[in-house]
Structure 1
Amino acid sequence: MKKVLMLCAFVMCVCFANAQNGQNVIKVNPVGFLFGAGSVAYERALGAKSSFVIAPQFGGFKFGGVKYSSLGLGAQYRAYFSKSKSAPEGFYAAPNVNFVSGKIKYDGFDEESAKDKFTSFGIGALAGNQWIFNSGFVIDLNAGFSYQSFKYKNDENVNGFNLKGNGVFPRVGFAIGYNF
Structure 2
Amino acid sequence: MGEANKTVKVDESVHNELSRLKDQYNVDTFNDVLRHELELVPGTIEKLTGYLPAEFRETVKRAINEIDSIGDFEKRMTEDPVYGADFQDTPTLQFRAVKTNKVIAEVTASETGFTVYYLNQDGKMATTGGGLVYSDGRLSYGHGNGNYYDDWEGDDVIELLNRRVSGAYRAWVESQ
TM-score grouping bracket, smaller chain normalisation: 0.3 to 0.5
Q: Which has the larger radius of gyration?
A: 1
TM-score (norm. length: structure 2): 0.33
Kindly indicate whether structure 1 or structure 2 has the higher relative contact order, using CA contacts under 8 Å at least 6 residues apart: 1
TM-score scaled by structure 1? Answer: 0.32
Structure with the bigger percentage of helix: 2
